[in-house]
Amino acid sequence: MLQHMLALIIKEFLALLKDKRSRFVLIGPPIIQLVVFGYAATFDLNRVPFAVYDEDNTEQSHLLAERFSGSGTFELVGKISRDADIRPLIDNKQALMVLHIGPRFSDDLAAGESASLQVIVDGRNSNTALLALNYVRTILLDFSADWAQQQQRPPPPARLVMRAWYNSNLVSQWFIVPGIVGLLTLVVSLLVTALSVAREREEGTFDQLLVTPLRPFEILIGKSVPGLIIGLLESTVIILVAVFWFEVPLQGKIGALYLGLFLFLLANIGIGLMISSLSVTQQQGLLGAFLFLVPAVILSGFATPIANMPEAVQQLTLINPMRYFLIIVRGVFLEGADIKLLAAQYWPMAVIALFSLWSAAWLFRRRMY
């Protein structure tokens, strides 16, 4: 039996490597998505175009404007002299923000009163606007503290000092790149297995497979092992890229990461085989895989926190294996979490894997007869 299963596993590897579409699935999406998400998907703002509307036009107002333009985050794109110039800059996206310094700014500072200052931000992208306002707040706090020290005035009664655990510089790549491990593992393992049985039916070799001495469950094992091995190899490459190219710290134990990876792959393979057992052609298998893939990514917490989703949607995420794996991979990378700490994430994936593999076997037998 083992010899027959090994022959089937070798056959699956050869079929994957000889088929152009299958080779593209294995090589194309991982490379493209790794580059796109690794570099393009970021929550950091490295360039905020802004304009200055300075009605005060004094040394203090110039110093404040220079604080922004010299910060490395803000880029001065122009100076305006009237209110009517603000709207065109924002509407045409020439500036994300307009710094409006009132005519009594320096006088109010000298008198120890609240200085007139307005920040107008393009709110069409609320996340970007909030990030820009946080940068503005930081610059203004530093400006106020330095001015109070120079004028020998008492500093503000309280100063907020923030410290971020696990990601002290709040580098968004440290959050996104570990998530790419889960995303690309899901894509590759799901597509490879979703096309396996459908490919046999489309090429007319499904009936030949049925006359072999292998039982249906053994055939499914032979179909699963290549996806598991390919998933482990590609995930290992992505983890190495995350650590040595993107320089994301791997704080935890590698065993805790690979235990979660193994269970995650089993769950994905079971779901992929379910889709493949229901598909007659590879096109149907590909469509079924993407019908599962998109909701799985959205409901995983990859980009948006699950806690911010409606209660009914949060309950729906409990059947999504990627939800649990993202907690594991980010916990191992950034928090140094171990197997004991992540136990609550392992067993749901194990349950999903058992159920999906059993369902795939049941569907395979039913479709076969």
Q: What mean pLDDT, rounded, does the chain reach?
A: 82
Give the predicted TM-score (pTM) of the model: 0.75
Percent of the chain with pLDDT over 90: 19
What CA–CA distance (Å, rounded) separates 137 from 139?
A: 6
What pLDDT, in 10s, does the model give residues 139-191? Answer: 888 888 887 777 776 665 555 566 667 777 767 788 888 888 898 899 888 88
d(CA 146, CA 356): 62
53: left (phi over 0), alpha (psi -120 to 50) or beta: beta
Q: Considering the chain, tell me which residue range(s) the CATH 3.40.1710.10 domain(s) occupy.
A: 48-150
Nearest-angstrom CA–CA distance, 35 and 19? 25
Percent of the chain scoring above 70 in pLDDT: 80
Joined tokens for residue 157: 């009664």
Q: Is 195 exposed, middle or buried (0-12, 13-18, 19+ CB in 10 A)?
A: buried
**CA gap 121, 68 in Å, rounded:** 14
Confidence of residue 15 (pLDDT cuts 50, 70, 90): low
Q: Which of 180, 250, 192, 248 minimizes the C-alpha distance to 35?
A: 180
CATH number of 48-150: 3.40.1710.10
Among 112-116, 127-131, 348-352, the least confident range: 112-116
254 pLDDT exceeds 90? yes
pLDDT (0 to 100) of residue 199: 74
